């Protein structure tokens, strides 16, 4: 080869290198600068909207070495997605330099998520000799806020909420020094020139103290059982002493959150290990720069108030991720005896189902009757981002909520197309998703679109992503359900054609998109609710297809939901409906039936009053829980099923009786057998175990019939029911025994928080194929 000749290797050349990925705000340019000077290369590096542009001049071998080391030794928070090299004419540079950012209409750059404080900054903050000693906003290029403070790209200080803070001479010198850890750290500041913190009362908004004095007073109030709203990174937290039962109960009453578990923040790993069981993978999740809430199994007699996570075997735990968090815990620890550790409930500052509060004035108005005090600061949060929630189920990480720390990192699709679509998700656990340049940008958790504030947050998020991605979608994708706010919003837009996508197809497509899987597959899609093509409520579906074609092969036998939405909050209603379908008039003598208005339920069903049909697997789990002696009323989504699953002590049990018929999968044999065992007094732990093993065995048998029918060997598992760790583990193992490729979620939630990704992938594929809608064939009830 020509390049092997000595003269060619030492020849002076100039190359333009375009690097794309997460390369802004993560110390990438100073790394490039120092590496280029070390190799005695001239040229420059700059941020552009298309990525980082590097021009290098020097010996070809040295430029080759530069590229190798760039990819191998890049900064820890950076991620190189693509690197393009082009030979260009020589110039007279003299040395290597960093030049100002260049804007462009064609944005290809990825923005870093918000990152927890790094060890270097934490060490400096705790060092009395450091000029940032106890400064609550210390950061560097390796940590701190990113996504939540950016207005637009490129990620430069004037385009962030730090623009109003002029740096002092010392901070400016750091910012301009390529050899400094704070070179072009956009939120760089100190106590002289940066944001500050203060504590004020609720109601009259009287300032009580500032800076360290405010933190000292805050710690005193927390230990006295007070509720304090603390402004953080992506919004406010409501904080209370997690060991104080009365304080936690008071927070629940004020927040209108009766039983749904609350998250706890612990100061360090040593304290976490006193609370929960922790394996290596869970510890890695807990300490990762993203700092999510991790759902972990409780230890007995843990020093946490029972009201934090009542009747739940898991506790949501997170570590501090901002400097302010660490300062608060340091102050709390200084006030406690040696044998006690500080623990705080840190829950989103909102009323149930409303968006998290982010603005000082908003906090004063919306939290005045929840919090006793407000800890405020004057660095604006530009975009809301709740804490992310994850768990380790069946040896893999499962997202329950994907938000702060992970957004806006994209899911990379199996296409390089520059086409852009917008998917607006569903009604519950809403997220939205934009595609651009072969990447799907899934938004942070927006939540349930059931009130005006949530609707506004939804619209703000779409506008913000359109701004930072600098894109106008060519199509808008929404759910089939006509009553969803997201659907109605999409229908009101007139700048792009609208495509409607069936809910469970979107679940299936989301998982396939994560795996870049374009071939047809079988989908076992299980959840609580999804609007079907036939206008009924689907939720226990066996599908086949890809992004543009779909077949409905089978579903759980539909039955009516007595009372509609009321049956979700009162799962005893579903239990009655299943029992009537399985036994007819002669219902078994189950304890829960004694005080229930069975005649009223029969009347609703017979007259078909507010009793829509459903094939929902989620409702079947609810009914099984009630029949087995579990919860009859719930206070948060899937509470009955969660407690039913956590009752399982062993899976080494025989399944109940079942039949794996297609296209309607019968539930009657399971319900009859379960009810008969319950009447005999079988403990709920054993009933729960047998039901879970039954469902996995039944779904295995049904899937194998679908494999035989279609010839497909790939199976997708998606939908909120696959947050059930036992079912996920069992079915995954059962299917793999048959040499089937099983796709489960790795980057996004299996629940409705992921369906906007599936909608986006479907919409993009339809656009590229020149199709207006998905080709659908219903083999259950006929062609559609």
β-partners of residue 231 are 236
Distances (CA, A) of 611 to 322, 598, 781: 49, 15, 20
Helix H or strand E encompassing 572: helix 572-583
Catalytic position from the list 20, 47, 188, 724: 47
Measured CA to CA, the distance from residue 251 to residue 247 in angstroms comes to 6
Say what the pTM is: 0.93
Measured CA to CA, the distance from residue 620 to residue 475 in angstroms comes to 36
Residue 636, SS3 per DSSP = coil
Query: What domains can you pick out in the chain, each with its CATH number?
Result: 2-111 (3.30.70.100), 113-396 (3.90.870.30), 558-710 (1.10.357.160)
- DSSP conformation class of 344: E
Mean pLDDT per 10-residue run, the chain (784 residues)? 59 93 80 94 87 93 96 88 93 88 61 92 98 98 93 86 97 92 92 98 95 98 98 97 98 94 98 97 97 97 96 97 98 94 96 90 95 98 97 94 95 90 97 94 96 96 92 96 97 96 98 97 97 96 98 97 94 97 94 94 93 97 98 96 97 97 97 98 98 98 98 98 97 97 97 98 97 95 66
Residue 235, SS3 per DSSP = coil
Residue 723, SS3 per DSSP = helix
Measured CA to CA, the distance from residue 57 to residue 42 in angstroms comes to 5
Residue 146, SS3 per DSSP = coil
Residue 745, SS3 per DSSP = coil
Nearest Cα to Cα of residue 238 among 144, 253, 401: 253
Contact criterion met (CB below 8 Å) for 680 and 709: no
Q: What angle do CA 638, 641, 645 make, to 5 degrees?
A: 135
Measured CA to CA, the distance from residue 124 to residue 118 in angstroms comes to 10
β-partners of residue 389 are 293, 401
β-partners of residue 442 are 433
- DSSP conformation class of 166: P
Measured CA to CA, the distance from residue 681 to residue 675 in angstroms comes to 10
Nearest Cα to Cα of residue 315 among 304, 324, 325, 326: 304
CA 533 to centroid of chain Cα atoms: 28
Measured CA to CA, the distance from residue 384 to residue 298 in angstroms comes to 30
Measured CA to CA, the distance from residue 26 to residue 24 in angstroms comes to 5
Query: Could you tell me where the beta strands, DSSP code E, fall in 659-779?
Result: 664-665, 714-718, 741-743, 775-778
Nearest Cα to Cα of residue 590 among 618, 565, 613, 623: 623
Dmax (CA) for the chain in angstroms is 95
Question: Buried b vs exposed e over 679-715: b needs ≥16 C-beta within 10 Å?
Answer: eeeeebbbbbbbbbbbbbbbbbbbbbbbbebeebebb
Question: Is 29 annotated in the active site?
Answer: yes
Residue 640, SS3 per DSSP = helix
Nearest Cα to Cα of residue 730 among 626, 652, 615, 620: 652
Nearest Cα to Cα of residue 270 among 313, 305, 317, 230: 317
Q: List the 498-501 sheet strands across, edge first.
A: 411-412, 439-442, 433-436, 421-423, 475-479, 498-501
Catalytic position from the list 14, 20, 29, 132: 29
Measured CA to CA, the distance from residue 446 to residue 103 in angstroms comes to 30
DSSP string of 543-556, one letter each residue: EEE-SSEEEEEEEE
Task: Give pLDDT, residue 416.
Answer: 80
Residue 783, SS3 per DSSP = coil
Task: Give pLDDT, residue 188.
Answer: 97
DSSP string of 254-272, one letter each residue: HHT-SSS---EE-SSHHHH
Nearest Cα to Cα of residue 375 among 479, 226, 490: 226
DSSP string of 54-120, one letter each residue: EEEEEEHHHHHHHHHHHHHH--TT-EEEEEEEEEE------SEEE---B--SS--PEEPPPBPPPHH
Torsion of CA 531, 532, 536, 539, to 10 degrees: -70
Measured CA to CA, the distance from residue 234 to residue 401 in angstroms comes to 14
- Could you give the count of Cα atoms lying within 13 Å of 123 in the half-sphere of its Cβ? 3
- Could you give the count of Cα atoms lying within 13 Å of 64 in the half-sphere of its Cβ? 10
Task: Give pLDDT, residue 77.
Answer: 79
Query: Could you tell me where the beta strands, DSSP code E, fall in 307-372?
Result: 314-318, 344-348
Q: What are phi and psi of 551, to 5 degrees?
A: -120, 140
Compute the residue count for the chain. 784
Nearest Cα to Cα of residue 137 among 172, 208, 188: 188
Contact criterion met (CB below 8 Å) for 386 and 316: no
- By DSSP bridging, strand 475-479 and strand 498-501 are parallel
Give one word for 111, left, alpha or beta, with left for phi > 0 and alpha for psi -120 to 50: beta
């Amino acid at each position: 080869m020509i390049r092997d000749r000595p003269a060619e290797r030492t020849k002076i050349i100039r190359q333009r290198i375009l690097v794309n990925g997460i390369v802004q705000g993560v110390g990438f340019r100073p790394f490039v600068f120092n590496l280029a000077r070390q190799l005695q290369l001239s040229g420059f590096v700059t941020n552009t909207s298309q990525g980082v542009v590097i021009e290098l001049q020097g010996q070809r071998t040295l430029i080759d070495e530069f590229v190798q080391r760039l990819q191998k030794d890049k900064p820890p928070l950076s991620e190189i997605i693509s690197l393009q090299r082009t030979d260009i004419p020589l110039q007279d540079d003299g040395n290597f330099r960093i030049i100002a950012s260049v804007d462009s209409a064609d944005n290809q750059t990825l923005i870093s998520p918000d990152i927890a404080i790094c060890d270097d900054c934490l060490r400096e903050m705790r060092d009395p000799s450091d000029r940032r000693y106890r400064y609550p906003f210390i950061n560097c290029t390796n940590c701190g806020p990113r996504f939540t403070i950016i207005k637009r790209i490129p990620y430069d200080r004037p385009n962030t909420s730090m623009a109003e803070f002029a740096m002092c001479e010392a901070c400016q010198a750091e910012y301009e020094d390529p050899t400094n850890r704070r070179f072009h750290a956009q939120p760089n500041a100190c106590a002289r020139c940066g944001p500050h913190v203060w504590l004020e009362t609720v109601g009259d908004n009287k300032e009580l103290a500032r800076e360290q004095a405010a933190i000292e007073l805050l710690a005193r109030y927390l230990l006295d059982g007070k509720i304090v709203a603390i402004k953080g990174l992506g919004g406010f937290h409501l904080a209370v002493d997690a060991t104080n039962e009365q304080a936690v109960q008071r927070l629940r009453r004020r927040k209108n959150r009766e039983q749904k578990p609350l998250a706890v923040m612990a100061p360090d790993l040593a304290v976490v290990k006193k609370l929960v069981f922790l394996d290596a993978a869970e510890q890695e999740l807990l300490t990762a720069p993203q700092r999510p809430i991790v759902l972990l199994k409780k230890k007995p007699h843990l020093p946490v108030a029972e009201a934090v996570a009542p009747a739940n075997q898991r506790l949501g735990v997170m570590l501090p991720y901002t400097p302010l968090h660490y300062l608060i815990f340091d102050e709390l620890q200084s006030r406690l005896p040696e044998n006690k550790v500080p623990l705080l409930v840190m829950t989103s500052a909102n009323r149930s189902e409303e968006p998290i509060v982010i603005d000082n004035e908003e906090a004063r108005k919306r939290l005045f009757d929840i919090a006793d005090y407000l800890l405020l600061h004057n660095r604006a949060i530009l975009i809301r981002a709740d804490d992310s929630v994850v768990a380790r189920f069946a040896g893999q990480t499962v997202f329950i909520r994907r938000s702060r720390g992970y957004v806006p990192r994209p899911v990379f699709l199996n296409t390089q197309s520059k086409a852009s679509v917008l998917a607006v998700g569903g009604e519950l656990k809403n997220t939205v998703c934009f595609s651009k340049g072969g990447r799907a940008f899934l938004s942070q958790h927006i939540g349930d679109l059931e009130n005006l504030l949530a609707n506004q947050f939804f619209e703000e998020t779409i506008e913000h992503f359109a701004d930072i991605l600098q894109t106008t979608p060519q199509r808008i994708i929404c759910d089939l359900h006509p009553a969803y706010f997201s659907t109605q919003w999409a229908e009101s837009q007139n700048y792009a054609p609208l495509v409607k996508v069936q809910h469970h197809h979107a679940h299936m497509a989301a998982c396939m998109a994560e795996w870049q899987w374009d071939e047809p597959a079988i989908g076992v899609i299980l959840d609580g609710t999804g609007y079907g093509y036939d206008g009924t409520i689907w939720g226990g579906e066996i599908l086949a297809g890809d992004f543009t074609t779909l077949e409905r092969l089978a579903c759980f036998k539909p039955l009516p939901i007595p009372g509609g939405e009321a049956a979700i909050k009162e799962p005893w209603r579903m239990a009655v409906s299943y029992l009537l379908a399985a036994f007819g008039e002669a219902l078994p003598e189950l304890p829960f039936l004694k005080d229930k208005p069975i005649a009223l339920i029969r009347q609703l069903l017979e007259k078909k009053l507010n009793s829509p049909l459903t094939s929902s697997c989620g409702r079947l789990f609810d009914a099984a829980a009630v029949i087995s002696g579990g919860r009859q009323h719930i206070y948060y989504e899937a509470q009955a099923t969660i407690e039913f699953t956590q009752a399982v002590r062993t899976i080494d049990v025989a399944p109940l009786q079942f039949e794996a018929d297609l296209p309607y999968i019968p539930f009657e044999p399971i319900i009859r057998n379960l009810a008969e065992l319950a009447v005999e007094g079988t403990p709920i732990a054993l009933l729960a175990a047998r039901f879970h093993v039954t469902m996995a065995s039944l779904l295995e048998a049904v899937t194998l019939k679908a494999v035989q029918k279609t010839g497909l060997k790939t199976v997708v598992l998606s939908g909120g029911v696959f947050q059930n760790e036992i079912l996920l583990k069992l079915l995954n193992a059962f299917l793999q025994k048959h040499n089937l490729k099983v796709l489960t979620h790795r980057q996004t939630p299996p629940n409705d928080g992921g369906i906007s990704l599936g909608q986006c992938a479907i919409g993009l594929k339809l656009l590229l194929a020149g199709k207006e809608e998905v080709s659908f064939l219903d083999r259950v009830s006929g062609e559609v």
